[in-house]
Amino acid sequence: MSKPKVAFFDFTSCEGCQLNKLNFENDLLDMLELVDIVEFREAMDDKADHYDIAFIEGSISTPTCVERIYDIRRRSDILVALGSCAVSGGINAMKNLHPADEVRETVYGKDKYLFPSMPVQPVSAVVKVDFEVRGCPMSAPEYLQIFKSLVLGRKPEVKDYAVCVECKLKENECVLDKGMFCLGPITRAGCEAICPSFGQYCTGCRGVVSNINEKGAVDMLKQHGFSVKEAVNRMKLFCTNELESLNKWGA
Amino acid sequence: MGRDLNIDVHHLTRVEGHGNIVVDMKNGVLKKAQLDIVEAPRFFEAMLKGRNFHEAAIITSRICGICSLGHQIASLKATEAALGLEITEQTVMLRKLLVHGATFQSNILHALFLAAPDFLKVGSVFTLINTHKDVVLAALRLKRLANDVGDVISGRAIHPISIVPGGFTAFPSEKSIEELKNKFINQGIPDVEYILDVLISLAGEIPVFERETEYISVYDEKEYGLYDGQICSSDKGLYPVDDYLKVTNEFVVPHSSSKHAKFNRSSYMVGALARFNNSYDLLSPMAKKAAEAISLKAPNYNPYMNTVAQVVEVVHCLEDSIRLFDILLDKGIKKEKPNQEPTRYGKGIATTEVPRGILFHEYTYNKQGNITTANCIIPTGQNLANIDDDMKKLVPELMNESKEDITLKLEMLVRAYDPCISCSVHMLDVDFIE
């Protein structure tokens, strides 16, 4: 059996997720035994025509991004969105909070209509995304697990429960009980609650679970002296695009 | 009859971000030699507006994955200056260790994974795994060691977690610091010595080219300038950090979505070679020996030697980390609560060295502790004018070489600066042409 052809592409992002891949120092060589990396601009010169698995990092934020992602999708059997920027628009989507015309004018001044500009979108807004690896940055162990599943031809496990679950398993003291704000109750797990484990609050970088327990989350925040308004403001950091679909939270 | 030459390298590989090299020569007359920056602009200053001081470093960290720690350090220091937050000696020491880790991680990544394939005439580090496995393994171990520093002290090497305004939210155990120290001594130092030997054997592959320019870096009279200090220009001397706009003078050029900068001349250089040239005397003893072994003397005017200066800095960071580990272990690690009670609200400016050069962040806060204005000046942006000036001198010197060789040398030149293009186009007010 020939090895799967794997490629990595970067769109609008910090390229930190790609870098995270080079950070599997202990597993990198083993991974390379299993696949052929045929395109990875940040690390190599080669280019290829067809990919068994294409990993996409970054958001769609210019017309050129749209053209590129169509082209890659056409040539890929499986397409995986890597990290929050690709999955939801992530932190880039904060720019969408400002009126497009205002942003364009600040950027281009009197030439604002010369250059096409567009709101930041997730990859899935433009082409079909087969699998997602969430997080900012993506969690390296989770990526490794999904990578292995795909190489073995299995469907990767997708976690769709709150960060609170993993935080409890880590036996952390509840962040809200410590008097800090936290988005753990509505944010998707898969990060092993790494931020609460290091004394920080959950910033919601992995996006929201598919069926939020809204009443429970709102009650929980209120009990600890935090308002929905504050939660919405905090969610603008990583979840701007997701907020649009959360009517009550956006209210 | 002069030569016609047309080079267009679209989306240069093995650099962070998207750039094109464009050379246009007609009849022996150089019309154009420049690096076009075609990265999508990211609007970070707009994103920061209205955000609380707790969030500033979380946001600016995302400007760049490779430089996330450096952006956090500059961001935290600017916030602390603006809000009058004092930090402890232990916080400074832990931050310096993180800076050392991030610096040698990035320097190793660039020198061995991105630049070395050129010296060995292959397209990527993946080829080297078969031909030079021991070197790749040593580099991977060093990278892992740097990541361990980030993991142990800040929870994560990319977008660190526990490093916040006023201090830290979590602390490493003394045992984990002791373990790190032992790894540095038993594995880090031998690995970097091995890599240095390999680099010495490849020294002949580094192109010979000189162009004296202005070198700008952080300068600290007590130690090799990385974490903090004044602005140092090799032409004009020292300036306080508050004068950063006077030194950087950013300006827009049509071929780059990242702004250019100039001070005393038409361009200046930042990064490992600039730091080496300005602060050579303050390098650790082993780093000085390493520089001597590889014949790198300050001042050096060959931009290709930036990669070599990076490896010398790896030695410095390893040796100085061991010194800091000892002080921490001697004093014991205290679980200090971060100081997050502002004593004032206003403007704060900070500088720090990130692997690619000097970085500035400036924020203004209102009385709610929210950002009203933000400005970040990034090393790669400061280097772009210098890269263009290098190309304009280099191309005519290569006129007897084939187009392929000229292209390779230009690619190597851009790579030598280790440009970080994601960082450089963070700006709000840019011309974006593609």
Domains by residue range for chain B, with CATH = 44-424 (1.10.645.10)
* Structure confidence by residue, pLDDT tens digits, B148-168: 999 999 999 999 999 999 999
| B399: contact with A, CB 8 A cutoff | no
Q: Does B41 touch chain A (CB under 8 A)?
A: yes
Q: How far does CA B7 lie from the centroid of its chain?
A: 28
pLDDT in tens, A26-44: 677 787 788 888 877 766 6
Are A141 and A173 part of one and the same domain? Answer: no
pLDDT, tens digit, for every residue of A233-248?
A: 999 999 988 887 665 5
* CA–CA gap between residue B316 and residue B298 (Å, rounded): 15
* Residues in Cβ contact with A24 at an 8 Å cutoff, skipping those fewer than 6 apart: A31, A140, A144
Least confident of A95-99, A142-146, B272-276, B307-311: A95-99
Q: Is the minimum CB–CB distance between B346 and chain A shorter than 8 Å?
A: no
Mode of pairing for the β-strands spanning A5-10 and A36-40: parallel
pLDDT given for residue A115 in this prediction: 55
How far apart (Å, rounded) are the C-alpha atoms in residues B4 and B395?
12
Q: Do A126 and A170 belong together in one domain?
A: no
For B260, B274, B383, B416, the CA distances from B269, given in Å and listed in that order, are 11, 6, 5, 12
Query: A33 — contact with chain B (CB < 8 Å)?
Result: no
Q: What is the pLDDT of residue A43?
A: 64
Asked whether residue A106 falls in the same domain as residue A197, the answer is: no
Domain boundary among A112, A130, A151: A151
Residues A146 and A199 in one domain: no
CA–CA distance, A43 with A8 (Å, rounded to integer):
10
Interface-testing mutation among B126, B145, B148, B429, with chain A (most A C-beta atoms within 10 A): B126
* pTM of the predicted structure, to 2 decimals: 0.92
Mark which of A151, A180, A212 sits at the end of a domain.
A151
Amino acid type, B356: R
- Where is B41: in which H helix or E strand? none
**Two tokens at A196?**
């609460």
Closest Cα in chain B, distance from residue A52 (Å)? 19
Interchain contact, A40 vs B169, CB within 8 Å: no
Which residue is it, tokens 């263009």?
Answer: B388
Number of domains composing chain A? 2
Whether A158 is covered by a domain: the verdict is no
**Residue B131, exposed/middle/buried by CB under 10 A (0-12, 13-18, 19+)?**
exposed
Q: What pLDDT was estimated at residue B113?
A: 83
Q: Provide the CB-side half-sphere exposure for A100 (13 A, CA).
A: 9
How much is the pLDDT for B35?
80
- CB-CB neighbors (< 8 A) of B161 in chain A: 194-195, 198-200
Q: Count other C-beta atoms under 10 Å from residue A126's C-beta.
A: 16
Q: To the nearest whole number, what is the mean pLDDT of chain B? A: 90
How far lies B104's CA from each of B135, B136, B358, in Å? 16, 15, 16
Whole-number Å distance between alpha carbons of B395 and B237: 31
Q: What is the pLDDT of residues B376-406, one digit of tens each?
A: 888 888 998 999 999 999 999 998 899 888 8
Chain B interface includes A121 (CB < 8 A): no
Same domain, A65 and A108: yes
CA-CA distance, B306 to B320, in Å (whole number)?
A: 21
Low-confidence ranges of chain B (pLDDT < 50): 425-434
A13 touches chain B (CB under 8 A): yes
Q: Could you tell me if A94 and A190 lie in one domain? A: no
Q: Dig out the tokens for A198 from the structure.
A: 């290091």
Q: Which residues from chain A sit within 8 angstroms of residue B55, using beta carbons?
A: 237
Within a domain: residue A143? Answer: yes
Question: Does the pLDDT at position A173 exceed 80?
Answer: yes
pLDDT of residue B27: 84
- Residue B432 has a pLDDT of 26
Look at residue A31 in the predicted model and tell me its pLDDT. 79
Residue A95 sits in the same domain as residue A25: yes
The whole-angstrom distance between A144's CA and the closest CA on chain B is: 16
Across the range A157-177, mean pLDDT stands at: 95
DSSP reduced 3-state for A53:
strand
- Same domain as A130, residue A12: yes
What distances in angstroms separate CA B322 from CA B50, B93, B192, B284, one per listed residue? 41, 12, 14, 11
Question: Residue B33: what are its φ and ψ, rounded to 5°?
Answer: -150, 105
The minimal CB distance from B429 to the residues A23, A95, A106 is found for: A106
pLDDT of residue A113: 60
Q: A30-36 long-range contacts, Cβ below 8 Å, gap at least 24?
A: A31/A147, A32/B126, A32/B129, A34/A3, A34/A4, A34/A151, A35/A3, A35/A4, A35/A5, A35/A6, A35/A151, A36/A3, A36/A4, A36/A5, A36/A6
* A–B CB contacts, 8 A cutoff, strictly below: 149
Same domain assignment for residues A90 and A185 = no
Residue A156 lies in a domain: no
* Residue A126 vs residue A247, higher pLDDT: A126
CATH number assigned to the domain comprising residue A80: 3.40.50.700
Least Cα distance to B273 among B240, B301, B234 occurs for: B301
Chain A contacts of B422, Cβ < 8 Å? 13-15
A225/A147 same-domain check? no
Distance, in Å, from the CA atom of A57 to the CA atom of A41, rounded to the nearest integer, reads 12
For residue A24, being part of any structural domain is answered with yes
Q: Give B24's strand partners.
A: B6, B32
By DSSP bridging, strand B19-26 and strand A5-10 are: unpaired
Q: Distance, in angstroms, between A209 CA and closest chain B CA?
A: 22
Q: What is the pLDDT of residue B427?
A: 35
- Helix axis angle for B189-202 and B306-331, nearest 10°, is 170
**Complex prediction ipTM:** 0.90
Is A91 within 8 Å of B125 when comparing Cβ atoms?
no
A38, two tokens: 């045929």
Mutate to test the interface with A, among B44, B51, B62, B156 (most CBs of A within 10 A): B62
Domain of A39 in residue numbering reads as: 5-151
Chain B CB contacts of A115 below 8 Å = 432-433
Residue A195 lies in a domain: yes
What average pLDDT does the segment A185-203 reach? 96
Question: Any chain B CB within 8 A of the CB of A136?
Answer: yes
Q: How far apart are CA B41 and CA B48, in angstroms?
A: 15
Does any CB of chain B come closer than 8 Å to the CB of residue A199?
yes
Q: How far apart are CA A213 and CA B232, in angstroms?
A: 55
Longest dimension (CA), chain B: 74
Same domain, A140 and A172: no
CB atoms within 10 A of CB A180: 17
Q: How distant is the Cα of B234 from the closest Cα of chain A, in angstroms? A: 31
Contact by Cβ (8 Å): B214, B234: yes
CA nearest neighbour of B160 among B102, B119, B219, B89: B102
Domain boundary (A151, A174, A201) is at: A151
Q: Are residues A91 and A140 in the same domain?
A: yes
| Of B65, B51, B46, B58, the residue nearest B165 (C-alpha) | B58
Residue A207 lies in a domain: yes
Phi, psi of B186 (to 5 degrees): -85, -25
Q: Is A230 in the B-facing interface, judged by CB distances under 8 Å? A: no
Nearest CA in chain B to A105: B429
Q: Nearest-CA distance from A154 to chain B in Å?
A: 26
Residue of A28, A91, A197 with shortest CB distance to B62: A91
CB-CB neighbors (< 8 A) of A90 in chain B: 62
**How far is it, in rounded angstroms, from Cα B149 to Cα B176?**
10
